[in-house]
Structure 1
Amino acid sequence: MLTGSCYCGLVGFEVDDAFRYAFYCHCSRCRRRTGAACAAVGGIEIDKLRITAGREHLLKVDESEEGYRCLCKRCFSPVYDTVRGNTFAHVQLGALSGIPSQRPDHHIYVGSKADWHEITDALPRFEELPP
């Protein structure tokens, strides 16, 4: 079991250490949302993520048939997104207190990565999404 929280600590969650996949996303949306060169994300079935504190302080944004984003209403930290018709959660790995067993093992959207950022590892890279 892994625990995590938003920046201010108002929203807490736990997630099974059973991520199905993990990746670094370099798209312009993730860069703007995180303020970093890329987002580190882990994907897991939605029922393996539980909010343990501050549920009433979660803000849902960008809602669609595919899913939505959850932020803390106080500090606006990204906590997780729902994807795949709300069946999976994309957890911001930087919000975790522990180290997940599944580490990011590829990069996506490197075709739109920040020009000032150099990827220095040997992980597979995809211009957009993997095939």
Structure 2
Amino acid sequence: MNARALAGKCFCGAVEYAVRDEFAYAANCHCSNCRRTTGSAFKPFAGIERDKLKLTKGEGDLMIHGEALNNDTHCRRCGSLLYSVVRAGAYVHVAMGTLVDDPTIRPAMHIFVGSKAPWFTITDDLPQFEGHATARS
């Protein structure tokens, strides 16, 4: 059974993408890098194999911060963080706020709460990890 494709785009609409609704995991990341790239208390993201995300518009409007196999991919025009290339280029962490369509997955945990913004209080019952979810908290 093929999963449906979800649409995503940046704030200004210069960059658009399609991603399969087959995310392997989702989390809220509270690390300082995610806070700075989003301008928010945390980044809700969903992880999926890189080949399941396809740009549909605006490839020339991408701004890559980092290396080919480990980066944050933004829209060059408006600065929106669209996704991060991770795990030696095998996966992307889609910034869930850029999805136009509603994915079936929801964040299942908070990661890097050891460096979360001191002015933000986590008020849900999701598991919390000091670092990566694979690390002991």
Fold match (TM-score > 0.5) = yes
**Unaligned stretches of 5+ residues in structure 2:** none
Q: Residues 47-83 of structure 1: CA distance to partner in whole angstroms, max 9, x if unpaired?
A: 100000001111111116x411111110011011111
Matches of 1:100 and 1:39, distance apart in 2: 16
Normalising by structure 1, we get a TM-score of 0.96
Pair 1:27-2:31 in alignment: yes
Equivalent position SS for 2:21: coil
| Percent of aligned pairs sharing the same letter | 46
**Unaligned stretches of 5+ residues in structure 1:** none
Pair 1:88-2:91 in alignment: yes
Shift of residue 40 of structure 1?
Answer: 0.4
Paired letter, 1:113: K
Pair 1:61-2:65 in alignment: yes
Aligned pair partner of 1:120 in 108, 120, 123: 123
Paired letter, 1:54: G
Q: Residues 28-56 of structure 1: CA distance to partner in whole angstroms, max 9, x if unpaired?
A: 11111111100000000001000000011
Pair 1:97-2:100 in alignment: yes
Pair 1:75-2:47 in alignment: no
Paired letter, 2:88: G
Shift of residue 130 of structure 1?
Answer: 1.5
Higher relative contact order (CA 8 A, sep 6+): 1
Shift of residue 102 of structure 1?
Answer: 1.0
Matches of 2:117 and 2:65, distance apart in 1: 24
Pair 1:109-2:112 in alignment: yes
Equivalent position SS for 1:29: helix
Count of residues in Structure 1 that have an aligned counterpart in Structure 2: 130
The within-5 A match list for 1:7-22 is: 7-22=11-26
Paired letter, 2:72: R
